[in-house]
A and B are shown apart, each in its own frame.
Chain A
Amino acid sequence: MAGKTAIIASNGTQFDAYKVYNIATAAAASDHEVAIFFTFEGLNLINKEAYGQLALPEGKEAVAEGFKKGNVPAIPELVEMAQELGVKFIGCQMTMDLFGLEKEAFVDGIDVGGAVTFLEFAKDADVTLTF
């Protein structure tokens, strides 16, 4: 592995999803070991019901056209690609409980853990990002 990238995803709009998954897939394609910790509204990004239809930030709805024109991949496509490249998804247990969500509500293949699970991964990461 060429490096290690640790990402916290804590916001839930479509913009946030692209920020998180673009960096994550690019890092994985560059042979980084990558883990994303999904917490609070970041959980939307792996929620089976939500992740295919994430809202754009308020006032930015016009950008939808730009996404289409730019041939930007859909979020579920990026999620599949990220997982295929070995990106590790960690759902935050505490916020899942808070929102009353079970592991089954999320895409397959995620781990569920607490803050320490993420910290253990992030403590020797070369790149640490929060979105």
Chain B
Amino acid sequence: MIQTDKVLDAIGMACPMPIVRTKKAMNELQPGQVIEVQATDKGSLADLKAWAKSSGNQYLGTFEEGDVLKHYLRKADQSEAKEEVSFPHTLTNAELQEQLGRDDVVVLDVREPAEYAFGHIEGAVSIPLGELENRTQELDIDKEVFVICRTGNRSDFAAKQLVEKGFGRVKNAVEGMTQWDGSTEQSKA
């Protein structure tokens, strides 16, 4: 099961109810939070994708479990598009790709679990930004840490947090997963 901020039960509902309910549930979420929408309406897959596109929210992906479709969406976060990154040590995706073979590095993916589930760099460690504060001990402090998120903003915050916690070698992969063209892997439902 993927951890989300809210689960919406739209099982058994016909069009347009899954969309209407999703819209209402999204209003109650904070920017950047993730919702799981459970639906049996087969049209909900295409509809939610289209809805996310027109409403500016992020469609992450869908798992099928029997008759139930589990859709994952992330509420748009305006600050992500605008904020300047300020952590001084950065690397491009091409540079990151070159470093992946080394055994003294770790890729830290600070996106939400549902974002991670639908496509991440192989071997990347998943710790969402909001939990990093309490989970840094899961990382090997002697390794060089490359932090990545979707667009380079959350990873900017995360990189600063890691340095405050005593990590010596930290870099922000500023281009983020949106520009990652290397291989990725998916988690299982």
Contacts and interface: CB of A to CB of B under 8 A. Distances in A.
Interface residues of A, number: 14
B19 A2 contact: no
A71 B22 CA distance: 18
Contacts of B12: 71
Interface stretch (A21-29, A55-63, A103-111): A21-29
A114 interface: no
A22 B16 contact: yes
B13 interface: yes
A26 B21 CA distance: 10
Given A30-B55, A31-B55, A71 B20 contact: no
Nearest to B26: A29
B54 A31 contact: yes
Question: Chain B binding site: helix, strand, loop or mixed by DSSP?
Answer: helix
A71 B54 contact: no
B14 A30 contact: no
B20 A29 contact: yes
A30 B13 contact: no
A120 B19 CA distance: 29
Contact of B51 (A3, A30, A71): A30
B15 A22 contact: yes
Nearest to A70: B14
Contacts of B55: 2, 30-31
A25 B54 contact: no
B23 interface: yes
Question: Chain A binding site: helix, strand, loop or mixed by DSSP?
Answer: loop
A71 B16 contact: no
A112 interface: no
Contacts of B13: 71
A29 B54 contact: no
Nearest to B40: A71
B17 A30 contact: no
A72 B18 CA distance: 11
A73 B20 CA distance: 12
Given A70-B14, A71-B13, A81 B20 contact: yes
A25 B20 contact: yes
Interface in A68-95: 70-73, 81, 85
B20 to A, nearest CB: 5
17 contacts: A2-B54, A25-B20, A26-B16, A26-B19, A26-B20, A29-B16, A29-B19, A29-B20, A30-B54, A30-B55, A31-B55, A70-B14, A71-B12, A71-B14, A73-B14, A85-B20, A85-B23
Interface of B: 12-17, 19-20, 22-23, 47, 51, 54-55
